[in-house]
């Protein structure tokens, strides 16, 4: 087993700044430095699974697996910095996104020893990296092909479609069952509302959106029809402070109008507020910011009777048109309260989000499997791109396959059932052998 140790600071100056950090990450992800290291405390460190390149806020690589001193591999994240002190400088020690970091990699050692700890004061093992000079792998694929990619490459197109269809059907039925279970407790209308709200929170904010919907049930919002948006933003914790002087003129007027309505409910609703720490604000597309999504949810509640009627009648084309035409005088031109207004109007719900809501919420709630079989897939998001890289990277027909919504859903289910739960870098995953047996 080769052990890599740092040999001074030669080359570390090359990795200052964003481009240098990206090169270091790319060379790491390509496997250029190996997978066996000696930690700064002398422990044997083996990177069993390099994980997925994180493109949003948080650690550099997620869903990695690391074994320390030969113990059972643990799944979590890996952070790579050019300088050991960057752990503190960049605020990782107090950021909950870094609580599951398993390994802190750095190139340059500080004059005095710096320890990496999470906000829960758990020690994060460190590795000081030797950086060979010269070029290395700089590709930025978000995930590496898994062992199953070769097995799936050998399947005929009809056989692979059957595998994906079976996984897609399981995923569909699981979503339908989850909505049914909620309906048994809260009623069908509330169950659909909670599922839609969680879908509005994708990616990254499904939980806080579901909490908002649970704390502000649909029936309550419909009773307070003049205060829907104020209640959503108040309980969501996104109303600007009472001092609105820092906002632009349009945002100031809109926020003041919401405050005038929120004050009437504040006494009875203040304890319902969703903690700010639950929201994930970094790494989002501006159009996906939770403030815009809450604004869209407020508009959607105002149209809920029509939404529920179309969903019950399986009028999917009309529902798609309604959702894509949601409009709001303020949120049509703002990403947040604090931002400058946009010149061109913004869609409250883009076509990709509308399609995702149909696939993941409305069709399962209605039990309409046949429509899913006929649907084209939504535009591939980051999660589906990662799943495709792990499972289907070696298929030349991958784009045609994933053009169908059911195939995309099946691929996501296989990824969640096998790749996301595997800490052995595919060595212990049963799926490739399952494919061969089929």
pLDDT tens series, the chain, 438 aa: 233 333 333 344 444 444 467 778 877 876 778 889 999 888 999 999 888 888 777 899 998 999 999 999 999 999 998 888 899 889 998 898 999 999 999 988 877 777 898 888 888 999 998 765 444 433 445 567 777 777 788 888 888 899 999 999 999 999 999 999 899 888 999 999 999 999 999 778 988 999 999 999 999 999 999 999 999 999 999 998 878 878 899 999 999 999 999 999 988 888 889 888 889 887 667 888 999 999 999 999 999 999 999 999 999 999 999 999 999 999 999 999 988 899 899 999 989 899 999 999 999 999 999 999 999 988 777 788 888 888 887 788 888 888 899 999 999 998 888 776 666 667 777 766 676 665
Q: Which residues pair with 47 in a beta bridge?
A: 66
pLDDT tens digits, one per residue of 95-122: 989 999 999 999 888 777 778 988 888 8
Q: Which residues pair with 438 in a beta bridge?
A: none
pLDDT of residue 151: 76
pLDDT of residue 281: 81
pLDDT of residue 8: 33
**What is the Rg, in whole angstroms, of the alpha carbon atoms belonging to the chain?**
24
Question: What is the distance between the alpha carbons of residues 19 and 15, in angstroms, rounded to a whole number?
Answer: 8
pLDDT tens digits, one per residue of 305-330: 999 999 999 999 999 999 999 999 99
Strands 52-53, 74-83: parallel, antiparallel or unpaired by DSSP?
unpaired
Helix residue ranges per DSSP H, 147-289: 147-153, 157-186, 188-200, 206-215, 218-223, 228-236, 249-269
- Give the H or E element holding residue 46: strand 44-49
Strands 61-68, 36-38: parallel, antiparallel or unpaired by DSSP?
unpaired
Residue boundaries of the structural domains of the chain: 12-128, 150-421
**pTM reported for the whole predicted model:** 0.70
pLDDT of residue 162: 92
Question: What is the distance between the alpha carbons of residues 229 and 234, in angstroms, rounded to a whole number?
Answer: 8
Question: What is the distance between the alpha carbons of residues 391 and 154, in angstroms, rounded to a whole number?
Answer: 12
Q: What are phi and psi of 78, to 5 degrees?
A: -130, 135
143: tokens are 């995930």
Question: What is the distance between the alpha carbons of residues 283 and 56, in angstroms, rounded to a whole number?
Answer: 4
Question: What is the distance between the alpha carbons of residues 224 and 216, in angstroms, rounded to a whole number?
Answer: 11
- Is-contact 334 240, C-beta < 8 A? no
């Amino acid at each position: 087993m080769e052990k890599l140790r740092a040999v001074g600071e030669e080359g570390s100056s090359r990795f200052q700044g964003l481009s240098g950090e990206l090169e270091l990450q790319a060379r790491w992800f390509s496997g250029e430095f190996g997978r066996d290291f000696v930690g700064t405390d002398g422990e044997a460190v083996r990177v069993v699974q390099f994980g997925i390149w994180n493109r949003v806020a948080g650690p550099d690589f997620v869903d990695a697996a690391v074994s320390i001193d030969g113990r059972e591999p643990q799944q979590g994240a890996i952070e790579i910095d050019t300088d050991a002190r960057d752990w503190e400088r960049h605020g990782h020690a107090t950021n909950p996104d870094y609580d599951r970091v398993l390994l802190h990699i750095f190139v340059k050692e500080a004059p005095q020893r710096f320890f990496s700890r999470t906000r829960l004061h758990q020690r994060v093992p460190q590795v000081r990296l030797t950086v060979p000079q010269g070029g290395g792998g700089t590709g930025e694929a978000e995930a590496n092909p898994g062992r199953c990619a070769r097995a799936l490459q050998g399947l005929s197109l009809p056989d692979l479609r059957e595998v994906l269809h079976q996984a897609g059907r399981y995923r569909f039925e699981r979503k339908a069952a989850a909505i049914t279970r909620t309906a048994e407790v809260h009623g069908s209308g509330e169950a659909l509302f909670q599922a839609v709200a969680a879908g509005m929170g994708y990616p990254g904010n499904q939980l806080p959106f579901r909490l908002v919907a649970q704390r502000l049930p649909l029936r309550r919002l419909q009773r307070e029809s003049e205060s829907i948006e104020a209640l959503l933003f108040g309980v969501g914790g996104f109303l600007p402070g009472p001092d609105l002087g820092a906002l632009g003129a349009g945002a100031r007027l809109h926020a003041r109008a919401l405050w005038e309505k929120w004050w009437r409910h504040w006494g009875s609703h203040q304890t319902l507020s969703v903690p700010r720490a639950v929201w994930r604000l970094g790494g989002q597309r501006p159009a996906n910011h939770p403030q815009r999504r809450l604004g869209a949810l407020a508009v959607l509640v105002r149209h809920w009777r029509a939404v529920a009627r179309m969903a019950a009648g399986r009028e999917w084309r009309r529902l798609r048109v309604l959702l894509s035409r949601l409009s709001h005088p303020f949120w049509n031109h703002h990403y947040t309260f604090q931002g400058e207004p946009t010149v061109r109007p913004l869609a409250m719900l883009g076509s990709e989000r509308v399609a995702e809501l149909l696939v993941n919420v409305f069709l399962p709630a209605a039990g309409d499997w046949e429509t899913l079989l006929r649907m084209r897939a939504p535009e591939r998001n980051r999660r589906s791109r990662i799943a495709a890289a792990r499972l289907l990277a070696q298929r030349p027909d991958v784009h045609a396959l994933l053009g169908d919504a059911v195939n995309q859903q099946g691929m996501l289910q296989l990824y969640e059932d096998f790749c996301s739960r595997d800490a052995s870098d595919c060595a212990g995953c049963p799926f490739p052998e399952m494919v061969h047996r089929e």
